[in-house]
C-alpha cells in the first residue's frame, strides 16, 4: 500500500493520509481536515486513482472539515464509527463552532464503522480498531500487511490524545492504549498530528505507556 501525506495548508488541521492500492488504483483519504483545490490537485497528482473512501478516525473539526468538498468531487463513501457520526452534522459536537464558526458543511456518513470491521481497498484490507478515549467513536486503522497503524488522536509520538472533551474518557483511553500496545510485533504509527513514530518506540519511550506499567 502506498501512503502519502496530503498538505492541507495549515498546521491546525490533522495529518491527512492518502492510501493507494497501486495494483487497482483504489484509494482512501483519511481525515481530510480541510478542502481546497490545491489539496484536491495534490490527491489526484498520484496517477489514475479511484477515490473510493473517506475514512475518519473521529469526528472533530480538524479531521472532517474537508469531507464535504472531497465527497463532492469524488463521490467517495464516508466512513466513521457510529458513536462519532453525529459530529458530521453537528458543529458544536465537532468543536467547529468554537474554532471555525460557520465553516462546517453537514454531511452524512455512508458507512458506520464498528470494532473489527475491515474496509477492502483493492487486494488490501484496512482493519478498524475501536479506540475510544479521545472521543467515544475514535478508531485506529490497521494495515497488517504493511505493519502500519493510522492512529488519529489516540496515540502520538511520546504522548496520547486529550481526554478532556465532552465524550472523552481517561479510563477508555487507558484501555485503548493497552489494546494498541498488545498488538504483536512492531508497527509504523502515523498519528493525527505531528511526526510519525513506531509502536516499539512508544512502548519504551512514551511516558504515558511507561506509567501504565507501574
Query: Using an 8 Å Cβ cutoff, are 85 and 55 in contact?
Result: no
pLDDT tens-place values along the chain, 214 residues long: 999 999 998 788 999 999 999 999 999 999 999 999 999 999 999 988 999 999 999 999 999 999 999 999 999 999 999 999 999 999 999 999 988 899 999 999 999 999 999 999 998 999 999 999 999 999 999 999 999 999 999 999 999 999 999 999 999 999 999 999 999 999 999 999 999 999 999 999 999 999 987 5
What is the reported pTM?
0.97
Q: Hey, CA dihedral for 139, 143, 147, 152, is it positive or negative?
A: negative
Which residue in the block uniquely carries the three cell numbers 479506540?
Answer: 131
CB atoms within 10 A of CB 188: 15
Which residue in the block uniquely carries the three cell numbers 511526526?
Answer: 195
Query: Using an 8 Å Cβ cutoff, are 99 and 165 in contact?
Result: no
Cα–Cα distance for residue pair 17/160, rounded to 1 Å: 19
Cell numbers found for residue 174:
487507558
Amino acid at each position: 500500500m502506498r501512503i502519502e501525506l496530503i498538505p492541507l495548508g495549515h498546521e491546525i488541521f490533522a495529518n491527512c493520509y492518502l492510501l493507494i492500492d497501486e495494483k487497482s488504483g483504489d484509494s482512501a483519504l483519511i481525515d481530510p481536515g480541510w478542502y481546497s483545490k490545491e489539496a484536491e490537485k495534490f490527491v489526484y497528482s498520484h496517477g489514475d486513482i479511484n477515490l473510493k473512501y473517506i475514512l475518519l478516525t473521529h469526528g472533530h473539526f480538524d479531521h472532517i472539515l474537508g469531507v464535504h468538498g472531497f465527497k463532492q468531487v469524488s463521490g467517495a463513501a464516508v466512513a466513521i464509527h457510529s458513536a462519532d457520526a453525529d459530529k458530521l452534522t453537528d458543529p458544536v459536537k465537532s468543536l467547529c463552532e468554537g474554532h471555525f464558526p460557520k465553516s462546517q458543511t453537514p454531511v452524512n456518513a455512508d458507512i458506520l464503522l464498528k470494532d473489527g470491521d475491515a474496509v477492502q481497498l483493492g487486494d488490501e484490507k484496512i482493519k478498524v480498531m475501536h479506540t475510544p478515549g479521545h472521543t467515544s467513536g475514535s478508531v485506529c486503522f490497521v494495515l497488517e500487511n504493511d505493519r502500519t497503524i493510522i492512529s488519529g488522536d489516540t496515540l502520538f509520538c511520546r504522548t496520547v490524545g486529550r481526554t478532556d472533551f465532552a465524550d472523552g474518557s481517561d479510563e477508555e483511553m487507558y484501555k485503548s492504549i493497552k489494546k494498541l500496545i498488545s498488538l504483536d510485533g512492531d508497527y509504523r504509527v502515523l498519528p493525527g498530528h505531528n511526526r510519525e513514530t513506531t509502536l516499539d518506540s512508544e512502548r519504551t519511550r512514551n511516558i504515558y505507556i511507561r506509567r501504565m506499567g507501574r
